[in-house]
Amino acid sequence: MTLPAISAANQSKSVMSVLNSPMLIALITQKAASRPSKRKHFGPYLSQHSTSEPNTGLPMSTVPSTPATAGLVLQPLHGLTPDIMAIERDAHRVPWPASVFGNSFGPRYRVMGLFVGDVLVGFTVAHVLHDEVMLMNIAVSPKYQGKGYGQLLMDDLIQFVSDENGHQKDKLFLEVREHNEAAIRLYLRNQFEEIGRRPGYYPPVTPGDERETAIVMHRPIK
């Protein structure tokens, strides 16, 4: 997903102005659904991956063989909060503005948060449409990177897409900046394949630079 097209010179100021507006965040914050949230608890989690959070440009160190995962919980997020926006700002070089993020909470979206105790440390945003799922956003707070949490979030999404009990889809799609090599390695490791490119799709990280090409990838499920 890309931000609204504006001039490169004004983009950084515009995005940060929106992101730092508590009033806007408050306006689009939604109440949690009245139904009880489904919480997924994790016991010992073993990972052999060295990962990087997609689109952050912040490489993660090798995941320890026995990371401390007591108290880890995955549960749906039902509305925009300052904690979500704080992670978005810290984890992404070109973060979503609150106005865009606020549109990601609806019946066709799956937004999952990863908690350590009561602290939100990461999330995924996926668009679910018919037999396809598009990973729109994935982020882990830099304070909690290097613990395998990014891979855990990816595992949760793949499990959701592969679930035969009413959720199984044909394909899982995503887009990634062509120069985000660490994220691309993570996706390849999770059996994603490149299927195309979109020149000039992403806004530049630095104002004045050229827009960046997006690599379109998919992961066959069936």
Active site positions, annotated: 175, 187
The position carrying tokens 């507006």 is 21
- Alpha-helical segments (H) within the chain: 8-19, 22-28, 82-91, 98-101, 149-162, 181-189
Cα separation, 31 vs 28, in Å, equals 10
Q: Residues with Cβ < 8 Å from 112, sequence gap 6 or more?
A: 74, 75, 76, 77, 123, 124, 153, 156, 157
C-alpha distances in Å from residue 80, one per residue of 26, 105, 112, 140, 149: 8, 8, 12, 16, 21
Amino acid at 123: F
What residues are paired with 217 via a beta bridge?
174, 194
Backbone angles phi, psi at 211, to 5 degrees: -65, 150
Contact 167, 160 (CB under 8 A): yes
